[in-house]
Structure 1
């Protein structure tokens, strides 16, 4: 009888510890393994002009038609060949715990600044239950192809090292819908049933190919792109919600002129501001809690907005599998020099 009492007491103590442990202590993650964790096939297709040279079964958006390109007036400019590819250059954490850096091994730092604690909550409106959630996120500069010297003979890659560029814990608008409206006042145009119903078309388009850039307010199958903060109004699962946060994060930074595009003819000569984000210029793959393998579509990365049901099985699990890290691949069209100044 005493043994049973001790067992019940130990079980109750364990439940109390797990159930009431502060969320700030729950931080998990790992450093990316560039060999095994990155979806290397996602840099394809590689194209010259509009002609794909290496496709590897990967999807692509339109490329510049002409293979010959030029940057700057002669004799100070350059003449080259127009090359298209997808560059793995950005990394994103989406985490439940403020100051939890999933991509830095799950370390917690900087908690002297207060930030709302992300969570998932459930409400019941009439007969329909609705889950909502809030996450924090971190944006890293990570030009993998450059620092691994995979394509060391080209000037088309972003040159630099790994860097933490933006954390939402220091952004008051990330946790406040009213402050977020300052950055996205157009939310009032799309806060109606007709506009939200149109997002079904964006979901279908993203699942079959790429999302529809005209439907800026839609996050494809993941939900609404607005507000541009960490509040997810329809939380289905961690993979779905974190994929939506990733999209919002990219759009937010583009609107703040902190992220840039590099596709099309303007991309020939370098990156350029794109405050109105073309959602088609990014693809992404999961790094943590499990490196994304090939889903039912045979690919290990996907465009923004594509349904996560194709690849999310087993990617979220209790305790250590509820914080996420993603690699983002952005479309590049650049002018590889054959004559003129080096860069």
Structure 2
């Protein structure tokens, strides 16, 4: 309970600080209300022993954790029950003004930004393009708010600003980004582009195809990982795409000075028939106490995440296709109500990230025998 009260106090302070900044049209206060803005039903279904006990109608997919009645973590000397759910692990915002952190109540990094660093949308009627910045927040709210009772099944990282694109020299330079991740060159061809249709169809009816890792379905290409969007369809679509690129960057650059070590890694067990995945990967994913100890996953598994828009208009309607959160690549056309208004405050978008989590909830361990 002490941790819960500390979190509540911190949130109240941040909200109070944000009120004074709410009038700033360049860097608005978009600090989320964790009661009304977050769609907590995105954490379902909650599984134990491979059987959904809560949220039976929620979207999910089967893994090796659903096939065994018990699990073993030899390093922790723990025997337990396989548990599965979707954990709110991060928040990502996509913003126009450099140095702006709207998710933190409109906090600004007071550095000498130049005009070329501001987000823009080109007015070309034939094909609009856009540029936006993004910030990545480590926010394991389910642990901080004590939503899951077994701490071993929650990310215990502190709330933190994991990364902001303003400090990435490749974020506004596609050519430099391609040098950093040359794998993108392999898919800059017609078959690579056409694969987006297959991925979009899979995401529309279920989950995206992990093997088509260079595309984000109907949202657009994941590479190069920059803030440049060549085909700007809508504000929300661009926001979803750039948030996904930040996630992909977190996986690709896990080794970069530990900056992303809190947010990368594989968090779920092997899927049935998955090539190159064995029982050792399943055990490592289920026994990991934090993302830094999860199996290395340099190429992001897109199935691992769901996104829920939290501002400017929270997506909390559970009657929409897939509910209020969507897997990577599912079209945003049916959920963009009140997001395209030509008003201040509708240029910046924020998303809560839910990560699929398979874990071994301890039943017998040294701590239970003390």
Q: For the superposition of Structure 1 and Structure 2, which TM-score range results when normalised by the shorter chain?
A: 0.7 to 0.9
1:32, CA displacement in angstroms? 1.3
Mark the CA change 1:298 to 1:214 in structure 2 (over 3 Å): closer, same or farther: closer
Taking structure 1 as the reference length, what is the TM-score of the superposition?
0.87
- Note if contact 1:95-1:102 (Cα within 8 Å) is conserved in structure 2: yes
1:61, CA displacement in angstroms? 1.9
The residue that corresponds to 2:195 in the other structure is 198
The residue that corresponds to 1:131 in the other structure is 128
Q: How many residues align?
A: 314
Instruction: Give a deviation string over 1:198-254, Cα, whole Å, max 9, x none.
Output: 210111111111001111111111111111111101001110001000111111110
Q: 1:307 is matched with which residue: 331, 336, 340?
A: 331
The residue that corresponds to 1:277 in the other structure is 300
- Note if contact 1:41-1:56 (Cα within 8 Å) is conserved in structure 2: no
1:297, CA displacement in angstroms? 2.0
The residue that corresponds to 1:69 in the other structure is 71
The residue that corresponds to 1:251 in the other structure is 248
Distance in 2 (CA, whole Å) between partners of 1:334 and 1:182 is 37
Mark the CA change 1:174 to 1:342 in structure 2 (over 3 Å): closer, same or farther: farther
- Note if contact 2:99-2:166 (Cα within 8 Å) is conserved in structure 1: yes
1:261, CA displacement in angstroms? 2.3
Distance in 1 (CA, whole Å) between partners of 2:322 and 2:189 is 37
The residue that corresponds to 1:31 in the other structure is 31
The residue that corresponds to 1:19 in the other structure is none
Q: What is the Cα-based RMSD across aligned positions, in Å?
A: 1.9
1:109, CA displacement in angstroms? 2.1
Structure with a larger share of its residues in strand: 1
Runs (5+) with no aligned partner, structure 1: 1-23
The residue that corresponds to 1:14 in the other structure is none
Instruction: Give a deviation string over 1:180-199, Cα, whole Å, max 9, x none.
Output: 11332111111112210121
Three-state SS of the structure 2 residue aligned to 1:215 is coil
1:100, CA displacement in angstroms? 1.2
Runs (5+) with no aligned partner, structure 2: 1-23, 255-259, 270-281, 289-293
Taking structure 2 as the reference length, what is the TM-score of the superposition?
0.81
2:254 maps to 1:236? no
Q: Which has the larger radius of gyration?
A: 1
- The worse-fitting range, judged by mean Cα deviation, of 240-249 and 53-62 is 53-62
Instruction: Give a deviation string over 1:94-116, Cα, whole Å, max 9, x none.
Output: 00111111101223223335572
Distance in 2 (CA, whole Å) between partners of 1:340 and 1:153 is 13
